[in-house]
Amino acid sequence: MAANICLTGNLGRDPEIRYLETNNQMVCKFTIAARQPKVRGEDQPALWFTVEVWGQPGQWIADNMQKGDSALVTGELCLRQWTNRETGQPAEALTIRYARVEKLGQREPGPPAQGWSFAAAAPVAVAAAPATAPVVRAAAPAYQQAPAAPRPVAAPPAAA
């Protein structure tokens, strides 16, 4: 069973397109930094993730997004492990695979006053990766469902 994740953050670098040597399949990769909530009033370090978007949605992301853009990312969370070629040391990174990416806005130019502000808050566009498997969700319990529409009240009988 896969662990799914949904987060918002800023692209840490421009998206990059690569093609697999084995089957020439296209993958778009970029990093995203998700801010953590403050603890006792102190800022916490950002969590960094590598994001992989496969196929045509990845091409759209490479063409329309850049470092600093704000995005909502949903996908399968994986821990990718490898050996560093230069040092020979083991390395690992949190990766979000088969991601769906929604562009939220762009960082305004210039240095930030306090944190970052964004030019647009509404979603701009959505790019989705091919679905891996349909997600089946159980119906919500009755107490969580929306109330039924009010029923019309019968009019009192007319006086004769």
| Average confidence (pLDDT) per 10 residues, the chain, 160 residues | 86 93 90 89 90 91 92 91 92 87 70 37 46 48 50 58
Contact status, residue 75 vs residue 129, Cβ threshold 8 Å = yes
Q: What's the CA gap between 33 and 115, in Å, rounded?
A: 14
What residues contact residue 13 under an 8 Å CB cut-off, 6+ apart? 30, 31, 67
DSSP 64: H
Q: Is residue 8 part of a domain?
A: yes
- Which domain, by its residues, includes 36? 3-132
Taking the whole predicted model, whether its pTM rises above 0.85 is answered as: no
Q: What's the CA gap between 117 and 109, in Å, rounded?
A: 10
Q: Is residue 146 part of a domain?
A: no
Q: Is residue 73 part of a domain?
A: yes
Q: Is residue 137 part of a domain?
A: no
Q: What is the pLDDT of residue 121?
A: 37
What residues contact residue 32 under an 8 Å CB cut-off, 6+ apart? 7, 9, 10, 11, 12, 48, 49, 51, 71, 73, 96
Q: Is residue 153 part of a domain?
A: no
Q: Is residue 142 part of a domain?
A: no
Residue 111, token pair as written in the block: 């240095």
Number of domains in the chain: 1
Q: Is residue 96 part of a domain?
A: yes
N-term to C-term CA, the chain: 71
Residue 27, token pair as written in the block: 């993958």
Q: What is the pLDDT of residue 160?
A: 58
Q: Is residue 106 part of a domain?
A: yes
CATH of the domain at 111: 2.40.50.140
